[in-house]
């Protein structure tokens, strides 16, 4: 502090102490580091990083273009108390998963056209349940039916009104496709329906 003489009399003035021309290198580094840390903290606090989750992939429906279908006739005849059991096999032949959701329809027409076709679906069994098929996986549904005529003579027991060497399978929301009837060994077979109820079950869980 020093006195200055002016027209109005002496007055006091404050002066800022002079800083040294150079600061010790260690002090400069310390101050710089603290300043950068403070700036970084404020920036991070004000702009949190956003997390982006990928959207789940949509699984399409199984169709004639993405699957292969087999109809395998029963290997054992029905009895008076137990139906014969055929099966419908749907295999995903594409490179992506697909879903069976809804009713699948089965139509069997007599090869000679001598009887009304057998038509059924698995809406009651399938309900709203969906079955996902991985690539190359197969889902199976049972078809129960009577392939013997218990009211006829012994020689005519295996003569049924509907004898179909091929059937039509329509997957949910898809077009009908004609499928050859085979045995478990892949040899040609016949889907013989002598009457009574034909039951079409729900598709089971997929398997590789």
CATH label of the domain that carries residue 188: 2.60.40
Query: How far apart (Å, rounded) are the C-alpha atoms in residues 90 and 133?
Result: 9
**The domain containing residue 124 runs over which residues?**
60-200
**Is residue 49 domain-resident?**
no
Q: How far is C-alpha 185 from the geometric centre of its chain's CA atoms? A: 30
pLDDT reported for residue 61: 97
Question: pLDDT of 83-96, one tens digit each?
Answer: 999 999 999 999 99
pTM as predicted: 0.71
Question: What's the domain count of the chain?
Answer: 1
pLDDT reported for residue 14: 46
Question: pLDDT of 187-196, one tens digit each?
Answer: 999 999 998 8
- Write a three-state SS string for 35-66: HHHHHHHHHHHHCCCCCCCCCCCCCEECCCCC
Q: For the chain, what's the residue count? A: 208
**Is residue 133 domain-resident?**
yes
Tell me whether strands 138-145 and 199-200 are parallel, antiparallel or unpaired: antiparallel
pLDDT reported for residue 27: 47
**Is residue 41 domain-resident?**
no
**Is residue 192 domain-resident?**
yes
**Is residue 19 domain-resident?**
no
**Is residue 163 domain-resident?**
yes
**Percent helix, strand and coil across the chain, each to the nearest 5:** 15, 35, 50
**Is residue 35 domain-resident?**
no
């Amino acid at each position: 502090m020093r006195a200055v003489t002016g027209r109005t009399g002496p007055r006091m003035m404050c002066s800022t102490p002079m800083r040294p021309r150079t600061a010790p290198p260690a002090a400069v580094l310390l101050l710089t580091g603290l300043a950068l840390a403070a700036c970084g903290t404020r920036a991070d606090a004000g702009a949190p990083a956003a997390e982006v989750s990928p959207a789940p992939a949509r699984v399409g429906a199984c169709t004639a273009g993405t699957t292969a279908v087999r109809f395998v006739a029963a290997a054992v005849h029905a009895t008076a108390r137990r139906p014969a059991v055929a099966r419908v096999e749907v295999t995903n032949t594409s490179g992506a998963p697909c879903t069976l959701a809804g009713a699948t329809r089965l139509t069997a027409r007599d090869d000679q056209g001598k009887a009304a076709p057998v038509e059924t679906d698995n809406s009651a069994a399938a309900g709203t349940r969906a079955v996902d098929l991985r690539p190359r996986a197969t889902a199976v549904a049972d078809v129960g039916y009577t392939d013997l005529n218990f009211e006829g003579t012994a020689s005519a027991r295996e003569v049924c009104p509907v004898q179909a060497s091929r059937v039509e399978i329509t997957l949910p929301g898809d077009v009908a496709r004609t499928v050859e009837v085979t045995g478990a060994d892949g040899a040609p077979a016949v889907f013989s329906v002598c009457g009574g109820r034909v039951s079409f079950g729900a598709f089971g869980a997929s398997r590789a």
